Amino acid sequence: MIGYHLDNVRQALYKHTSILLSDRHIISTMNSLSEDFIQLVDLPDELILIIMNKVKPKVLLLCSIITIGNNRLEKLALDMCHSIDLTFDYFQSPNQFIIPRFYTHVMPCIINNIQSLTLSIQHIPNMITFVERYCNGTLPNLTYLKIIIGRQNSMTGTPYTLDIPKTRLESSVFQVEVNKKLVPKNGWIPMSNAARTLSKFLCSLSVPSIVSFELEDDCILTNIFNDDDLFFPESIHLTHIRITLFKFEHCICLLNQLGSQLCSFVVNVMFVSASDAGIFSKIKSISCPNLKRLTMISFRSIIDYENLFLPVLQRLSNVEYLILLLAIEFKRNTPKHFIDGFDLDKDIISYMPHLCQFHFHIRSILPNASHVEIDTIRQTFMKQQQPVDCAIDYFNNNHGQCQIYSLPFIGTRLDFVSNRFPLFDTNKTFSMVTKLLLFDDIQPFESAFFERVSRTLPHLKTLDIMNELEQQEKIETTTNNLEFTHLTTLILFDIHLDYAEQLLCRSHLPSLIELAIDSNILLKIIAQDQQQAKGNCSRIGTLLTSHPFYHSIDTLRNFFPRDSYVPHPKE
């Protein structure tokens, strides 16, 4: 019923006692939880706790011990109930069978012990039903609540990130109108049943003791307020929030409602633009006297940076620790310059007299941008107390961009990286990046470029390529040693065939579970019937195509697992 690594258990027990237990004794001990208690009970509490701590997930231990009739084991298990994580219960998880027992036998016994709760969206209806039935709609001692989407690969448990209609609130696929603007566009779907359930849960659950609330970054709320425009109406102690919002005006409303009690606020916003003129009066009423730690993220390009975003930031004068990860787009009819050190001093730092730590990565985009020397931008940071660097790039689509970033680089995402971006510096500045969007309409990405990417970004999980230029340095061999060990998501919509061949046919992608690809290029890859490509595609759980796949699904079966193809919205 419960699996262990015997050597690890033996070593843990031997570390605390002078007796090295045999495999047979350990197996007997671990298989006796519900039948023969004498062998486990004979051990001291310290050793029993060591064994209990090795059971993963913890809920499996609780379901195995609580209510089986042994008071001593139950007491030891109850002492481990302060933190409950239900996110192991993903689709086809081997542990799905224990959830019904957890709600019927375990949860009623531990309701007053739970201080930290992490659950996936699929568990929200069960949790709502339980608290309404057993505890008047409240979790009395809950102080930390985290919610994740909970959609994971059935074989590895790796989270999916690409959009699937009716199952995701937001997609992390980056698309762009290449000929118009350098703006990554996140696909999104209307308010789904999951989104409505989540919003209901957040607005109705009475959690008077909650201090910290965290929502998984990929879970974007289209609306977080009830009919009275309240968020967590009963949470008077809520001081720490991490959340992703669809509209910036929701962020403003949230700051107005909870600003007086917030100490830490991490917010990721999809759209920063003013749709309602009345929002400006709400900005003036923001007051956050206790807000010391602030992180604001917006990768989709802020449209109203000066009129909307900056006035909100300037109201938060007590912030001591600030992180800004932003993309800023200036309109064509308004002459602007790239954001530089002078702007940060004038528009942000001067409004925060208590600021003692400031980390940032800001990408500003200009149409018809005039050429600026990189040293000119660097000189604007002469007054900064911390090291800062920047990169400037100009593209054939008449747009220019400047990326400024504090060092060490704290972000995990880079957008619109070209051949000219200093990705391969000797200091390994970007080694912790996990999401990378490559874009170039001037030069192709050659094989040597991808080789350096695989070495420079060892933690890369998501790779999105946008380049329709043919490679000039062709590789004649069918395979090479290029490997992206942790790459789970590959996006190949706006590309030349060469890049699909480079990554699917001549690279090793052992962790790949998601592929988004141009339909015509996919057919060409399949027609080549290349063994390396088959191997890379054999574990894919989500296959998205740029256009409806009008060909027979049988065409995909030699390359992809059954049911991996997600029908196009137009199908």
Report the share of the chain in percent with pLDDT over 90: 45
In a domain, 175, yes or no: no
* Residue-level length of the chain: 571
- Residue 224 · residue 255 · CB < 8 Å: no
d(CA 287, CA 412): 31
Per the omega criterion (within 30 degrees of 0), is the bond before 408 cis?
Answer: yes
Best-predicted range by mean pLDDT among 155-169, 473-487, 515-529?
A: 515-529
In a domain, 188, yes or no: no
Q: What is the pLDDT of residue 26?
A: 38
In a domain, 531, yes or no: yes
- Residue 545 · residue 570 · CB < 8 Å: no
Q: 146-164: per-residue pLDDT in tens?
A: 988 767 676 666 777 775 4
Query: Does residue 197 have a pLDDT over 50?
Result: yes
Q: What is the pLDDT of residue 105?
A: 85
Q: What is the dihedral of CA 85, 88, 91, 95, to 10 degrees?
A: -120
Q: pTM above 0.75?
A: yes
Report angle CA 287, 290, 210 to the nearest 5 degrees. 105
Q: What is the pLDDT of residue 273?
A: 81
In a domain, 541, yes or no: yes
Buried b / exposed e over 405-440, threshold 16 CB at 10 Å, is: bbeebebbbbbbbbeebebeeeeebbeebbbbbbbb
Query: Does residue 85 have a pLDDT over 70?
Result: yes
Query: Does residue 287 have a pLDDT over 80?
Result: yes
> Helix, strand, or coil here: 97?
helix
Q: 377 falls in which pLDDT band (50, 70, 90)?
A: very high
The HSE-up count of residue 304 (CA atoms within 13 Å, CB side) is 20
Selected residue with higher pLDDT from 546 and 156: 546
DSSP string, 121-149: GGGHHHHHHHHHHHSTTB-TT--EEEEE-
d(CA 279, CA 155): 47
Mode of pairing for the β-strands spanning 144-148 and 116-120: parallel
> Helix, strand, or coil here: 288?
coil
Q: What is the dihedral of CA 157, 163, 168, 170, to 10 degrees?
A: 120
In a domain, 300, yes or no: no
In a domain, 545, yes or no: yes
Q: What is the pLDDT of residue 488?
A: 95
Of 137-151, 187-201, 244-258, the one with minimum mean pLDDT is 187-201
Q: 215-244: per-residue pLDDT in tens?
A: 888 777 776 665 566 676 667 788 999 998
Q: 138 falls in which pLDDT band (50, 70, 90)?
A: confident
Tell which residue, 164, 189, 168, 155, has the closest CA to residue 544: 164
In a domain, 211, yes or no: no
Looking at the structure of the chain, the number of domains it has is 1
Across residues 396-407, what is the average pLDDT?
A: 94
Q: What is the pLDDT of residue 383?
A: 84
Q: What is the pLDDT of residue 39?
A: 59
Ramachandran class of 70: left when φ > 0, alpha when ψ lies in -120 to 50, beta otherwise: beta
Q: 439-451: per-residue pLDDT in tens?
A: 999 999 999 999 9
Report angle CA 286, 207, 108 to the nearest 5 degrees. 165
d(CA 244, CA 419): 32
Question: 438 is in which domain, residue-wise?
Answer: 413-570
- List 322's β-bridge partners, or say none: 294, 358
Q: 71-78 and 58-65 are packed helices; what angle lies between their axes, rounded to 10 degrees?
A: 150
Cα 182 to Cα 299, 314, 434: the distances in Å are 11, 27, 20
Q: What is the pLDDT of residue 37?
A: 41
DSSP string, 27-88: HHHHT-SSS--HHHHTS-HHHHHHHHHT-SSHHHHHHHHTTSS-HHHHHHHHTT-SEEE-TT
Query: Does residue 42 have a pLDDT over 60?
Result: yes
Selected residue with higher pLDDT from 264 and 335: 264
Q: What is the pLDDT of residue 35?
A: 45
d(CA 143, CA 112): 12
CB atoms within 10 A of CB 167: 17
Average pLDDT, the chain: 81
Read off the DSSP letter of residue 152: B
Q: 93 falls in which pLDDT band (50, 70, 90)?
A: low
d(CA 394, CA 441): 10
Q: 478-515: per-residue pLDDT in tens?
A: 556 799 999 999 999 999 999 999 999 999 999 999 99
- Residue 532 · residue 144 · CB < 8 Å: no
Q: What is the pLDDT of residue 338?
A: 94
Q: 64 falls in which pLDDT band (50, 70, 90)?
A: confident
In a domain, 27, yes or no: no
Class of residue 537 by CB neighbours under 10 A (exposed 0-12, middle 13-18, buried 19+) = buried
Q: 190 falls in which pLDDT band (50, 70, 90)?
A: very low
